[in-house]
Amino acid sequence: MDAQFIQSVVQEVVKNYIGNREQGKNKISVGVSNRHIHVSRGDLDILFGEGYKLRKFKDLSQPGQYAAEDMVTLVGPSGVKTKVRILGPERSKTQVEISMTDGFELGLKPPVRDSGELAGTPGISVVGPGGSVTIKEGVICAWRHIHMTPEDAAKFGLSDKQYVKVKTFGDRGLIFDRVLVRVNSQYSLEMHIDTDEANAGFIKNGDQVEILLT
């Protein structure tokens, strides 16, 4: 076999290998968030009884965050959602995160917001085993986002509150625009989307997606 031909084959293999590594270097895992609620201490006392402590069901991907065994019912203007899981730990304000589809069924139009940005959002009634509360605001459709540490952000060349595009793969691969980057030393690298967004792209928990940096 000609030595020059062998050299050209080797060069092509190396080129493809490097290209594949470069293509995969911006890939991260995705987590799909179903409807859930974060509850304040005061509202938890009403819903479950004074001094009630949430019972951990499982840890979540973000350090210190967990899904509780405890669930509540959401009552909107024209619909009800039962078995809505509480995520811990407690928050300073009660916050309900639902999909747009959930909003249609409940009779609400939740705005797309980053977590904690609750001003001007709809309210809802929350029913627990010990009582019920009606919050005046706090229902949102969470903005799709990526959690990352400062080290991750430096590696990708990104900063907190920046927006990026993210590419998904498979039979219904798509590109998400305006994905919010959230940087904190307590975070673990992962993209979060809701069930509507996941269904649109046939995406499931743990799938790999790629941050597009150009």
Question: 15 falls in which pLDDT band (50, 70, 90)?
Answer: very low
pLDDT value at position 153?
97
Tell me the C-alpha distance between 40 and 146, whole Å.
25
pLDDT tens per residue, range 60-119: 999 999 999 999 999 999 999 999 999 999 999 999 999 999 999 999 999 999 999 999
pLDDT value at position 213?
86
Tell me the C-alpha distance between 139 and 190, whole Å.
23
Highest average pLDDT, of 5-19, 21-35, 100-114, comes from 100-114
Rounded to 5 degrees, φ, ψ at 99 are -85, 170
pLDDT tens per residue, range 122-133: 999 999 999 999
Mean pLDDT of 4-28: 55
Mean pLDDT of the chain, nearest integer: 92
Which architecture, in CATH terms, is 27-31+144-212? Beta Barrel (2.40)
- Domain boundaries of the chain, sorted by first residue: 27-31+144-212, 34-142
Question: What pTM was computed for the model?
Answer: 0.86
Tell me the C-alpha distance between 90 and 80, whole Å.
23
pLDDT value at position 11?
53
Cβ within 8 Å of residue 61, ≥6 positions away: 31, 188, 190
Tokens 């799938």 belong to 207
